[in-house]
Amino acid sequence: DAKTTQPPSMDCAEGRAANLPCNHSTISGNEYVYWYRQIHSQGPQYIIHGLKNNETNEMASLIITEDRKSSTLILPHATLRDTAVYYCIVRVPGANNLFFGTGTRLTVIP
Amino acid sequence: DAGVIQSPRHEVTEMGQEVTLRCKLISGHNSLFWYRQTMMRGLELLIYFNNNVPIDDSGMPEDRFSAKMPNASFSTLKIQPSEPRDSAVYFCASSLGQARSGANVLTFGAGSRLTVL
């Protein structure tokens, strides 16, 4: 699976949009981009995934660049409960492992 | 559905003792993953089952670790004998499918925090 690069930490004001970047410049054509998050003392939680097109669900939006070498996870209105470590993962269908890396620690500030 | 259920949530034991961690999959899921998380190494996959069959155990640290799926809905991870370096949070996750679909999503349990003194 291609490797990802994420900033180690970010802050976001409560109520504002949180934009979390991820670089995956070596991504191959059949690799999906997944986002998970881990709130303190809990198990990782799936957020969203995509291949080429932008995706949106009740939790977040995923914007993938046209060349697919980077993506951005958007939490439209961050709350204090969104404080967590966010992991960007690229993965080939059929791969057994999810390599979590170090992620981005997002702190939502009141 | 109650989600993936792990027990115990916390375990403190002494070096050399046997430790058994338990996991109940989400009903209908057929893939099971055991992960370990430490500050130094982050989240590491230990072993993966599909339809009760171990598919990839390359992440199991050594012979002291063993994992089983006695039935389709339950798994155990055993450490015997335990050592202080095994102290970590152990997560179990389940999914539907053989991870061959891009839509495959893992659902994690709350974890078992193990402390070996």
Q: Search chain B and give the residue with CA nearest A103.
A: B42
B50-105 per-position pLDDT tens digit: 889 998 888 898 899 999 999 999 999 999 999 999 999 999 999 886 545 556 68
C-beta atoms of B108 and A44 within 8 A: yes
- Residue of B48, B100, B109 with shortest CB distance to A94: B100
| Phi, psi (rounded to 5 degrees) for A19 | -115, 110
Q: Does B25 touch chain A (CB under 8 A)?
A: no
Q: Minimal Cα–Cα distance from B22 to chain A, Å?
A: 15
Q: How far is CA A66 from the centre of its chain?
A: 17
Q: In this structure, which amino acid lies at residue B40?
A: M
Q: For residue B96, give Cα distances in angstroms to B33, B64, B84, B85.
A: 12, 29, 34, 32
- Give the separation between CA A89 and CA B109, rounded to whole angstroms: 19
Closest C-alpha among B29, B31, B56 to residue B45: B56
- Interface test mutation site (partner A, options B6, B43, B113, max chain A beta carbons within 10 A): B43
Q: Search chain B and give the residue with CA nearest A87.
A: B43
State percent of chain A over pLDDT 90.
Answer: 76
Q: Minimal Cα–Cα distance from B45 to chain A, Å?
A: 7
A45-95 per-position pLDDT tens digit: 999 999 998 999 999 999 999 999 999 999 999 999 999 999 999 887 666
A81 three-state secondary structure: helix
Q: Measured between beta carbons, which residues in chain B are less than 8 angstroms from residue A88?
A: none
- Give the separation between CA A109 and CA B35, rounded to whole angstroms: 31
